[in-house]
Amino acid sequence: MQRSLISAAILSLTALAAAAPAQAAETAKAAKAKPAKPGKGAAGADSLATTQLPRNVRPSHYAISLKPDAQAASFSARVVIAIEVLQPTSAITLHALDLALASASIAAGPGQAVQQAAGIALDAGKQTATLTFAQPLAKGSYQLAIDYSGKIGNQAAGLFSLDYDSPAGRKRALYTQFEAADARRMVPSWDEPAFRATFALEADVPAEQMAVSNMPVASSTAIDGGRKLVRFATTPSMSTYLLFFGLGDFERATATEGGTELGVVTVKGRLPQAQFVLDSSKAVLREYNDYFAHPYPLPKLDNVAAPGRSQFFGAMENWGAIMSFETVMLLDPAIATQADKQAAFGIAAHETAHQWFGNLVTMRWWDDLWLNEGFATWMAGRTTALQHPEWQTSLNRVAGRNSAIERDALATTHPVVQRVATVEEAHAAFDEITYAKGGAVINMLENYVDEEAWRAGVRSYIKAHAYGNAVSDQLWQHIERAASKPVKAIAHDFTLQPGVPLIRVSEYSCRNGKTSVTLTQGEYSKDKPNKKALSWRVPVLAKTVGAADASRTVVSGGKATVTLPGCGPVLVNAGQAGYYRTVYAPKAYAALAASFDKLAPLDQLGLMTESWALGLAGKQPASDALGLARATPVDAAPQVWGRIARMFDEVRIYARDNEATRAKLSAFAISRLAPVLARVGWEARSGEAAPTAILREQLIYTLGALGDDEVMVEARRRYDASLAGDKAALPPALRRVVLGVVARNADSRVWEQLHAAARAEQSSIVKAELYGLLGQTIDPALAQRALELAVSGEPDATIGSGIIAAVAQEHSERAFDFALANLPKVNGLVESSSRAGYFPALAGGSANPAMVDKLKAYADANLPATARSQTNTAVSRMQYRAAVIRDRMPEVDAWLDRQAL
């Protein structure tokens, strides 16, 4: 929105700056400060750091005066930036996107001569603004002042608004989302991780609303027009993407831990739903203060809950002001399940870990994004298992590792440490490799060096690089020094090259009470079967089944021989810490499968997951995993049955277009899962374990998807009873999954009932869930109605894209074609950072070669070459899916035939 549209009641930008003596003093102080050493503090942009900006200027402090107009969807602002000119220049280039720069000036300090910019040139393609000055600037410290205005969007990029329903009517709140490169949408800035600086933010806002930022409020002063000027304390040195601002009809609850004020911020009326996260944050912060041996350095740490959702992220680690969408932070008592509770804890633990790995020490450039995300993924898993052993979440690492491996085994994979050259590539870097593989590699390395040595290395790394930027090798140096083991070489193998090692296990032999086996390293590839294998140094932990101890070795140079105590079947990757696939010689596998019930649940999950993945890839019979499922006792660990249920659901999807195979699969799968559901029951039992509650949901969902008559009848009975006023029919633990079964099989009348409920709902969490259910129908006509509803303007802007994505789960081609036909509307429902991945995700569920061509055509017409990685991955996945259906499903079909005999 242009500056001329801003209300005349807004104070002039000059007046706003003049009313901020504290900020002016901070700016002057920062301008006179000595430059930070390369790689540290405000600069961090040394000769080795990547930058898309000229290196002749660097910032040290931003004083920002902001006036947002939520209803007009615009803001006006002034920023005064303390900079250091490193080389004489007549031009300064910094980032700016969708901003209107009215004027710019520069001075050597307060009271010094002011030089107005002779020219302001915006480059939308490069997302920069270049300020030119008639008189060249000598080396030295300056204050750069810019008056500007900008837009408030309705998707999570830059400064954006979210609308929601409340008892008082329709409301609007403001939030910011700057990672990876969207701070430039609100502040002209050096918007790159290595350009650390301090920030002093003030905002002119409605008096009745609450403003939130990274730091506590330093002062709040009433001003004319029912408004107030809120000034926040100055932040520590940090990267631009960590800056945060929120404004709305909020309320806040607090607690204290280790001298830090912990807070939760919600829109009014929803504060009780944040209590679990507030309580959890105390335990997490206490653990992290100890683990890092560097107490959390800010005076407060808020968790801010925002209505709506994003196709790109669920939560963001802004320093001191973590922002999460309500769907992943709040526990609405009407619908919250055990899985929701565990997810909320895990996300809080993940984002809090970033306060050290990411915020206190920041990757120098997006190449090393995994230093943030992989470490936080691992740390969250470790902390959740430590704080809540009753949840048994340590078993989840098998699924996390598997998601990484399945992505990593495609030809379109990339190394953990990857080359990032553009903004589009930075957005694409937030994927399974960065998060799940990064976390799995850390887990493997910690297991290799031992947890005490690992922690000592991490503490040393944090201490050495606090308030600065770092690269991966600097972490390895500290770990290696603490562990006195060759960590760096192994870490390089797993982070600087792509792909997954494949450890082949020979037939074993036993002599004198010891078992010997030969391990040979190859490479696990799903779509390049004849690929020449890369070489890794692979830490391996192996044992004989039933033995108390395992033996460690490193498979180096492609082969190793291991001698194990005891005689019996050999289990490789015992404890499931290794990042590799394991394929056994036929007799060795048969002996291990026969001992399946003697394995720990974690290793049962590992063997089941490996067998299924290797079967689909043609490395062993695809029926092996189904045989394990057939032999699994009803009372096996809930997580094992959950994995079996997911495997059956995968087979169902592969058999979607083959009615005969689908019918056989349903009969077999129901015969295995129904007795487990009968044992678990529909209603929670007093004192039941958390994994059992989660299994119940998984079983009902999968049996419903398989068409189990008993489940569908019971789900519909409970739904009808709830409409008749029986609140006990749909307890919170069952509500979502029961409605999911009902929505999937809905007729027009039931679909309209759910639609009416979505329109009437005031809770943003429940509303989003109900609208999403409308897209889950298997009826093509109702799926089309859901698609049309998504772009009608009825659902909130952040919900429509989710409806289309829900339709794509069962109607991939229909959803993709519709989204393409309505491209301008759909683009308006998806934030810019998500668009390069959104359409590939819609198409990705298809195995139709024609869809591959459609997706490629979409990318050619709409995406720059640097934003094609997600398209390429989706294409690889579709082609692999087609190969599985062609080459593996006949074997599965034949195996199912034999079960019916």
pLDDT in tens, 751-796: 999 999 999 998 889 999 999 999 999 999 999 999 999 999 999 8
pTM to 2 decimal places: 0.92
pLDDT band at 22 (very low <50, low <70, confident <90, very high): very low
Q: Do 262 and 147 fall into the same domain? A: no
Read off the pLDDT of residues 871-890 as tens digits, 9 standing for 90 and up: 999 999 999 999 999 999 99
Q: Is residue 896 part of a domain?
A: no
Give the three-state DSSP class for 696: helix
- Of all residues in the chain, the percent with pLDDT exceeding 90 is 86
- Could you give the CA distance from residue 878 to residue 890 in angstroms, rounded to a whole number? 18
Instruction: For 354-418, give the DSSP string.
Output: TTTBTTTEEESSGGGHHHHHHHHHHHHHHHHHHH-GGG-GGGGHHHHHHHHHHHHTSTT---SS-
Write down the pLDDT at residue 32: 37
**Amino acid sitting at position 20:** A
- Could you give the CA distance from residue 341 to residue 329 in angstroms, rounded to a whole number? 9
Q: What is the mean pLDDT of residues 820-838?
A: 90
Q: Is residue 108 part of a domain?
A: yes
pLDDT band at 456 (very low <50, low <70, confident <90, very high): very high
- Count of the separate structural domains present in the chain: 5
CB neighbourhood size of 121 (10 A):
13
Mean pLDDT of the chain: 92
Q: Which of 215, 239, 202 is nearest to 95 (CA)?
A: 239
Q: Is residue 376 part of a domain?
A: yes
Write down the pLDDT at residue 832: 81
Q: Which residues contact 4 (CB under 8 A, 6 or more apart)?
A: none
Give the three-state DSSP class for 779: coil
Write down the pLDDT at residue 548: 85
Q: What is the mean pLDDT of residues 59-71?
A: 98
Q: Is residue 225 part of a domain?
A: yes
Element (H, E) at 719: helix 709-723
Write down the pLDDT at residue 238: 98
Read off the pLDDT of residues 217-241 as tens digits, 9 standing for 90 and up: 999 999 999 999 999 999 999 999 9
- For residue 8, pLDDT beyond 50: no
Query: Which tokens go with 310?
Result: 């994003």
Q: Which of 856, 853, 784 is nearest to 822 (CA)?
A: 784
- Of all residues in the chain, the percent with pLDDT exceeding 70 is 94
Q: Is residue 757 part of a domain?
A: yes
Q: Do 259 and 135 fall into the same domain? A: no
Which residues form the domain of 93? 3-248
- For residue 134, pLDDT beyond 80: yes
Residue 351 annotated as catalytic: yes
Q: Which of 432, 458, 435 is nearest to 445 (CA)?
A: 458
Catalytic residue among 192, 287, 351, 810: 351
Q: What is the mean pLDDT of residues 631-654?
A: 96
**Amino acid sitting at position 449:** V
Name the domain boundary from 775, 808, 830: 830
Name the domain boundary from 436, 471, 498: 498
Instruction: For 641-688, give the DSSP string.
Output: HHHHHHHHHHHHHHTTT-HHHHHHHHHHHHHHHHHHHHHH-SSPPTT-
Q: Do 558 and 694 fall into the same domain? A: no
CB neighbourhood size of 9 (10 A):
10
Q: Do 734 and 750 fall into the same domain? A: no
Write down the pLDDT at residue 673: 98
Q: Could you tell me the CATH number of the domain that includes residue 119?
A: 2.60.40.1730
Query: Which tokens go with 479?
Result: 């770990």
- For residue 19, pLDDT beyond 60: no
Q: Is residue 878 part of a domain?
A: no
Write down the pLDDT at residue 228: 97
Q: Do 23 and 139 fall into the same domain? A: yes
Q: Is residue 228 part of a domain?
A: yes
Write down the pLDDT at residue 9: 27
- For residue 30, pLDDT beyond 90: no
Q: Do 314 and 411 fall into the same domain? A: yes
Q: Would you give the distance in Å from CA 89 to the centre of its chain?
A: 41
Q: Would you give the distance in Å from CA 294 to the centre of its chain?
A: 26
Write down the pLDDT at residue 15: 29
- Could you give the CA distance from residue 775 to residue 779 in angstroms, rounded to a whole number? 10
Segment among 69-78, 159-168, 295-304 with least mean pLDDT: 159-168
Give the CB-side neighbour count of residue 24, counting CA atoms within 13 A.
12
Q: Which residue pairs, CB below 8 angstroms and at least 24 apart, start in 483-487?
A: 483/449, 483/450, 483/453, 483/454, 483/457, 484/453, 485/448, 485/449, 485/453, 487/445, 487/448, 487/449
Distances (CA, A) of 626 to 91, 621, 623, 651, 883: 67, 10, 5, 10, 19
What strands lie across the sheet with 260-267, from one edge to the other?
250-257, 260-267, 300-306, 321-325, 315-316
- Could you give the CA distance from residue 303 to residue 316 in angstroms, rounded to a whole number? 10
Segment among 370-374, 730-734, 863-867 with least mean pLDDT: 863-867
Q: Please confirm whether the linkage preceding 728 is cis (ω < 30° from 0).
A: no
Q: Do 86 and 213 fall into the same domain? A: yes
- Could you give the CA distance from residue 562 to residue 508 in angstroms, rounded to a whole number? 10
Name the domain boundary from 765, 799, 830: 830
Residue spans of alpha helices (H) in 47-87: none
Write down the pLDDT at residue 530: 86
Read off the pLDDT of residues 416-447 as tens digits, 9 standing for 90 and up: 999 998 888 888 899 999 999 999 999 999 99
- For residue 608, pLDDT beyond 70: yes
Q: Could you tell me the CATH number of the domain that includes residue 404?
A: 1.10.390.10
Q: What is the mean pLDDT of residues 545-559?
A: 91
Q: Do 523 and 417 fall into the same domain? A: no
Read off the pLDDT of residues 173-196 as tens digits, 9 standing for 90 and up: 999 999 999 999 999 999 999 999
Element (H, E) at 693: helix 690-706
- Could you give the CA distance from residue 812 to residue 807 in angstroms, rounded to a whole number? 7
Write down the pLDDT at residue 901: 56
Q: Do 515 and 559 fall into the same domain? A: yes
Q: Is residue 887 part of a domain?
A: no
Q: Do 664 and 813 fall into the same domain? A: no
Q: Do 770 and 663 fall into the same domain? A: no
Q: What is the mean pLDDT of residues 245-255?
A: 98
Write down the pLDDT at residue 529: 85
Write down the pLDDT at residue 866: 86
pLDDT band at 49 (very low <50, low <70, confident <90, very high): low
Q: Do 486 and 356 fall into the same domain? A: yes
Q: What is the mean pLDDT of residues 83-96?
A: 97
Read off the pLDDT of residues 388-405 as tens digits, 9 standing for 90 and up: 999 999 999 999 999 999
- For residue 339, pLDDT beyond 60: yes
Write down the pLDDT at residue 136: 94
